[in-house]
Structure 1
């Protein structure tokens, strides 16, 4: 059983290495926008809970409860796929027990990559890759070298779902589509205000959430997130 669990953890995190590789068969719905599809992986492993606030044309607004994440240091790169590959080894070692508590940690979903513009050369961006800490570990998450513990207060998130394997080409297109679908809405104004005020979402352009193992060729669910604060 333990061997099977470790294999599942490894296979899940290997999805971060796929990046739409030609060696992997594409999802039959690759590139198709979705809304409100429940990620199949969340039937098997823990995902953060949220309240659906609004469902719009090509997007939805969620309110997430307080969550805890373990995150890499920002990784400068021109490729999300390559940066996530770099982060993979740190996160997999962490959940396998390479932390100060020598504690093995259950796999969760999603694994997220925050994308921030950078002043570096060659149009580099900065990528912070994070693992959602299971609820049972959140009161005292295990510290680890070169990883940071982040506690998120409750926040709103504008979300666009898309299928298939994540690639560097697809994420830019999906982020632009989310931005376009929000234009002219009160949510777009709230997102802009949050960024201007230095609140939630001001430190990144968008976040990519990945839910699936690389061995799941159908029913794949990925998301673009735009977190923000909302004065109510």
Structure 2
């Protein structure tokens, strides 16, 4: 298990179950098609994320751990109004930012990595998804200029879901399965593959939910 995932669990998903997902909101999407890879029986979905607000930062300068720390600092209050984004549900809509007391917001799964959802020019970014109750305009502004808020709409992807860890070999295996599926079914790939993590180390590896997602036309 790499250092990033260790940090990830001890913070974002500290209260997760050992046999399932943490009780946090997941980014909503419209399911366009559900299928399985014919050889491995692995679950594949064609999805459309109709609207998604992302808080993102580049991993190209200082690596994944530094990117994670910047996003963690953002949800811990390094933003306009010092608004704290809580690690567990439910959503607590509290005092106005002008009061100086902040407000608590539940974080949403998954964490996207190596994602071009919010990037330009093919940059490697890490993204947290804001809860569905937030719009682009109501999302707190980051204090750190390296952290950006963006919104994507009508974003279509193919996703393959798998268990165990996000090791390089596991990610590569499922990326190849998904690419073969897309080729066989005449889908046009429009971006590079990226990963999504839903669980932490308190969840047994065989029960973890991971995904590889590939943007499609």
**TM-score normalised by length of structure 2:** 0.70
Change (3 A) 1:85 1:211: same
Q: Deviations over 1:157-196 (max 9, x none)?
A: 101111112112322222111101222213x2xx23xx3x
Change (3 A) 1:74 1:88: closer
Change (3 A) 1:216 1:206: same
1:73 aligns with 2:58: yes
- Measure the CA separation in 2 of the matches of 1:48 and 1:14: 15
* TM-fit CA distance, 1:68: 0.3
Higher strand proportion (structure 1 or 2): 2
Corresponding residue number in structure 2 for 1:163: 163
**TM-score normalised by length of structure 1:** 0.66
Q: Deviations over 1:25-64 (max 9, x none)?
A: xx99xxxxxxxxxx733xx211111122112233211122
8 A Cα contact 2:196 2:211, kept in partner:
yes
Change (3 A) 1:65 1:115: closer
1:55 aligns with 2:34: yes
Corresponding residue number in structure 1 for 2:70: 90
Corresponding residue number in structure 2 for 1:101: 81
Structure 1 unmatched ranges of 5 or more: 1-8, 16-26, 29-38, 78-82, 117-124, 196-200
Q: Deviations over 1:74-115 (max 9, x none)?
A: 4258xxxxx332322111111111112210112210000135
Corresponding residue number in structure 2 for 1:141: 139
* TM-fit CA distance, 1:11: 2.1
- Measure the CA separation in 2 of the matches of 1:211 and 1:157: 17
Corresponding residue number in structure 2 for 1:80: none
Mapping 1:1-232, distance limit 5 Å: 11-13=10-12, 40-41=21-22, 44-58=23-37, 59-75=44-60, 83-105=63-85, 106-114=106-114, 126-138=123-135, 139-144=137-142, 145=144, 146-186=146-186, 188=187, 191-192=188-189, 195=190, 201=191, 205-217=192-204, 218-229=206-217
8 A Cα contact 1:209 1:224, kept in partner:
yes
- Measure the CA separation in 1 of the matches of 2:76 and 2:48: 31
List structure 1 runs of 4+ shifted beyond 6 angstroms.
none
Change (3 A) 1:179 1:211: same
* TM-fit CA distance, 1:10: 6.0
8 A Cα contact 1:210 1:221, kept in partner:
yes
- Measure the CA separation in 2 of the matches of 1:158 and 1:179: 9
* TM-fit CA distance, 1:131: 0.1
How many pairs are equivalent?
A: 173
